Amino acid sequence: MIKRYSTPDTDALFSEEAKMSRWLEIELAVTDALAATGVVPKNVAEECRRKAPVIDAAFVARVEAREAITNHDVAAFVDVLQESIGAPAGSWIHYGLTSTDVVDTGLCWALRDASTLIHDSLNDLIDVITTLATTHRNTAMIGRTHGIHAEPTTFGAKVALWGAQVKRDRERILRARDVIAVCKLSGAVGTYSNIEPEVEARVGQHLSLTPVPATQVVARDRHAEFLYACASVGTTLESIAVELRHLQRTEVNEVREGFAPGQKGSSAMPHKRNPISAETISGLSRVLRANAQVGLQDVPLWHERDISHSSAERIVLPDSASLAVYMTRRMARLLSNLEVDTESMQKNLNALHGVVFSQSVLLALVESGMTRDDAYRIVQSAAATAISSGTHLREVLAADSKVTLSAKQIDSAFDLSRVLRHAGRAIDSLLEK
């Protein structure tokens, strides 16, 4: 992932040094397991660990130089590692393995740890959302359906529903982590032809990865599930971002992204404050969904293995993990610094002269004995008059001889607290552990 949309911890996780460090530990763990099962002399395994090189930029450069000759990254890594340890101990490195044993086990290890980073970032976002929802538990605003004023709601209820969806994404990430936290050390076609299953079991226990049956590769539906979980996180974040973008429109002006001292909203128009974080999140979510599609296309492979998946997933897997973390943290910052304009919310709530209580009036008329269709037509006409004349719906109804509601019934129909009496349920649900 480009630096602009990555984080230091994901950069570190997917660096070449980190990748080869995982490969090294896998190779050494296999040698240890071979020693424990009597295949490799114990002193040889100990020597391999003692003489194992530090995986740093210089080591990576040696591997890359060797790869220019071998045209095979793992073979180059093994060559340089064996050379660093020296013969005869180094000759036991990679015993009974195929390159994918090391690559796939290391990749699953990395994705498991990436899942934890995403999960922890989602936890932080949920905390921010919970604070925002509880702060605005009673902040009334207009609810919109199809972009049109519908009925009153609260900003807290709106935010709480965001949190509920983020919680579901957190569960998806946990499931994906369980699915991807596997290892495979079973040889060229997965038959353990030159290595015993006990070695795989010992290494899996050492790395906290679960051994799974495989061909030469771990089945890619596992990776596709991880990519879907990342895409789902992105889609949830975009759902929040799209709502925030709408609420920031000049004509609405109910929320605003935080604006730092010295920040510029437009290079040309000094008055502008653009919703750049929300728009960025919307755009990046498209990348996550596209990457999930690549993951699904990587599942079908020829026979016991081909490498059609390999080039693609070198891009989409680290990029999706990095983006999921970056976007989640950026959304947390956005919401932490969000300016909520309660006055604009109240103004917009009252903009259509009370017609947003039309359903309450409709039901009151039905309760009084009127047919639903008759009641609907009366309220529909009265609402149109209220909007066109700028007269409050209550006054229009009072002037209509067909409306026989008592003052008490009218008061109840237009009682905001009654309409919103259950709006806090979404917040209460969010607060449940």
Q: Is 84 a catalytic residue?
A: no
Three-state secondary structure along the chain?
Answer: CCHHHCCHHHHHHCCHHHHHHHHHHHHHHHHHHHHHCCCCCHHHHHHHHHHCCCCCHHHHHHHHHHHHHHCCHHHHHHHHHHHHHCCCHHHHCCCCCCHHHHHHHHHHHHHHHHHHHHHHHHHHHHHHHHHHHHHCCCCEEEEEECCEEEEEEEHHHHHHHHHHHHHHHHHHHHHHHHHHCEECCCCCCCCCCCCCHHHHHHHHHHHCCEECCCCCCCCCHHHHHHHHHHHHHHHHHHHHHHHHHHHCCCCCCCEECCCCCCCCCCCCCCCCCCCHHHHHHHHHHHHHHHHHHHHHHCCCCCCCCCCHHHHHHHHHHHHHHHHHHHHHHHHHHHHHCCEECHHHHHHHHCCCCCHHHHHHHHHHHHHCCCCHHHHHHHHHHHHHHHHHHCCCHHHHHHCCCCCCCCHHHHHHHCCHHHHCCCCCHHHHHHHCC
Backbone angles phi, psi at 154, to 5 degrees: -125, 150
Residue 201 has a CB neighbour count (10 Å cut-off) of 15
Pairing of strands 255-256, 339-340: antiparallel
Adjacent-strand bridge partners of 153: 141
| Candidate list 266, 308, 368, 406, residue with the active-site label | 266
The angle subtended at Cα 24 by Cα 220 and Cα 91, nearest 5°, is: 110
- Catalytic residue at 360? no
Rounded Cα–Cα distance for residues 403 and 322 (Å): 61
Computed from CA positions of residues 79, 82, 87, 90, in that sequence, does the dihedral angle turn out positive or negative?
A: negative
Q: Is the peptide bond before 88 cis (omega within 30 degrees of 0)?
A: yes
Residues constituting the chain: 433
Give me the catalytic one of 146, 388, 401, 417. 146
22 in Cβ contact with 101 (< 8 Å): no
Q: Please identify every residue annotated as catalytic.
A: 146, 266
